[in-house]
Structure 1
């Protein structure tokens, strides 16, 4: 455990804490990593540390000062959030402009006004452009924290003006230890969740505390197995059903990618790093019926669909194309 109550990302913690201690706070940070890996916790903890009033910088965030208490309650007047569109889950240009106008104002009571923009990699280029002037000439009291799952769709001009912090998947051993020592998981549960998570510590903790997370995972994996085992009409029926909830496709397709990678690992004889260890029999069955190229094609098709979810596309058609690229079993 550490003072920031964040596990598995020691280098990122050290970098941010040193920047605070030496007075080298940047105006823009871009925290990057797979969903549920700990990006949001790191962003909010860093924001708390920026405005904590504890005399000893090394103890920030203290968790007890007025600023820290306001952060925990979600009522800090100098915290601003870019609101995602409730239908598409995308950050729209009007939301960015609204935050920028608030950032220009002096803080009500803190050192900094801190703005957090979630899912920034899903934003359109024109929306990102709306933020450029603020990044080029930021107010002295403003800190912007961008959160993204990847860098591919983010403009180079945004990347060059941000301090990028990559969060890597946490090792199975570290996750197992954290779940056992800090969250009271029994041995079997900790082992399974450490594997299921794929190194995403936030997901592992959520699954331990919310049993419905595992139910959702089982349902999503059942759909994947149904798609792989089914013929075209089965897959197209699935495409029709899945196309009705775009936001649900983000975590579902991310999970399907872990299954594809498990199949690839089994084909290549590398079983030690499997995520979905409870599906080993089915994974082995699929692995026997596929080639490496089949699996890579399935991975590319899934990644392409994920990357296009933020665009204005015919979602059912995109899913049908993806399923056509999935191999059929003999």
Structure 2
């Protein structure tokens, strides 16, 4: 993949392309933005262009490094990640690249070191990296890929060219989705609402039938929760647990359903709903739950999502959310 193949992020592509074209490539970059915004893909395109033997922002595709890049086996592109089973990048991970840094590239002009999830580097690991950032060999280019630049030391950030990735437009989101999955079957409004400007999220919504099924299952659980009972609570907890690997879609759908319940309770049929296929069920349930209880649940969903984002155990947060939703909407 090349810069030409990437959708959006035009300013980033121009900046990186110009740096290659003019020979003014920085030795350390910080690619900052939320997960799924395209930082990793952009970093890899940049690395593959830099390692091409013919130079220029678009790799030739035929030289030895380009052939190796296609199979992901170019020894001059090195990824640094947390070891399996660990949540941080430690000193030993950073020091493991010192030998690579001290040796010249095998093929082209540059050797690229990419730090995936740079925000997971411990303070000690960042301090170990500082010496290399201060005096890197001329052939070394480091790219720190981060979703939280606040977790990085100021001394690390000050030695890097910072590039902030912007959220995509709705048109770019739809274009990326259709390129990957074709044009049919997914409601574009829901797709863009869920993506919130992040292409990576949009690509998760390939199956609109799955989304509609999840929406209906949530409504069934809410109807049972409102009537009370331990069995209904267990069903809701099991649904939340089942979707733990797809928690982003789950929480978006929960929010979307309660948004529709709140609007339907307040305005009736005057306002369109997001979840059109389930509009009938939503209208009926909204009469029972009401506007204020639906809005209360939206707040609780947001609180649970923030806790999960702070690495609170997912199952504990999800079970607590199910209990709180039942407490709000149950009318015995």
Shorter-chain TM-score: what band? 0.7 to 0.9
How far off is 1:321 after superposition?
6.4
The answer on whether the counterparts of 2:297 and 2:328 sit within 8 Å (CA) in structure 1 is: no
Distance in 2 (CA, whole Å) between partners of 1:61 and 1:110 is 12
How far off is 1:200 after superposition?
2.7
How far off is 1:118 after superposition?
1.4
Match of 2:7 in 1: 7
Distance 1:298 1:3, change over 3 A: closer
Q: Provide the secondary structure at the position in 2 that maps to 1:116.
A: strand
Distance 1:93 1:51, change over 3 A: same
* 2:302 equivalent to 1:299: yes
How far off is 1:151 after superposition?
2.5
Task: Map residues 26-105 of structure 1 onto 2, 5 A cutoff.
Answer: 26-54=26-54, 57-58=56-57, 60-105=58-103
Counting matched residue pairs gives: 313
Match of 1:167 in 2: 165
TM-score, normalising length: structure 1? 0.72
Give the RMSD, CA atoms, in angstroms: 4.4
Distance in 1 (CA, whole Å) between partners of 2:27 and 2:181 is 38
Q: Deviations over 1:199-236 (max 9, x none)?
A: 3324444654xx5x985996699689959985897489
Match for 1:112 among 110, 113, 134?
A: 110
How far off is 1:6 after superposition?
0.5
The answer on whether the counterparts of 1:169 and 1:200 sit within 8 Å (CA) in structure 2 is: yes
Task: Map residues 141-156 of structure 1 onto 2, 5 A cutoff.
Answer: 141-156=139-154
Distance in 1 (CA, whole Å) between partners of 2:165 and 2:273 is 19
Q: Deviations over 1:101-146 (max 9, x none)?
A: 3223221222111111212223333333332222222222111112
Q: Provide the secondary structure at the position in 2 that maps to 1:84.
A: coil
Structure showing greater radius of gyration is 2
Q: Deviations over 1:178-207 (max 9, x none)?
A: 444x45723443736445433332444465
Distance 1:278 1:162, change over 3 A: farther
Distance in 1 (CA, whole Å) between partners of 2:93 and 2:143 is 15
**More deviation in 225-234 or 15-24?**
225-234
Match of 2:183 in 1: 186
Match of 2:17 in 1: 17
Distance in 1 (CA, whole Å) between partners of 2:229 and 2:24 is 57
How far off is 1:69 after superposition?
1.6
The answer on whether the counterparts of 2:304 and 2:321 sit within 8 Å (CA) in structure 1 is: yes
**More deviation in 320-329 or 22-31?**
320-329
Distance in 2 (CA, whole Å) between partners of 1:26 and 1:141 is 11
Q: Provide the secondary structure at the position in 2 that maps to 1:132.
A: helix
Structure 1: stretches of 5+ with no match in the other structure: none
Distance 1:78 1:301, change over 3 A: same
How far off is 1:155 after superposition?
2.6
Distance 1:256 1:178, change over 3 A: closer
Distance in 1 (CA, whole Å) between partners of 2:290 and 2:305 is 18
Q: Provide the secondary structure at the position in 2 that maps to 1:74.
A: coil
TM-score, normalising length: structure 2? 0.72
Q: Provide the secondary structure at the position in 2 that maps to 1:24.
A: coil
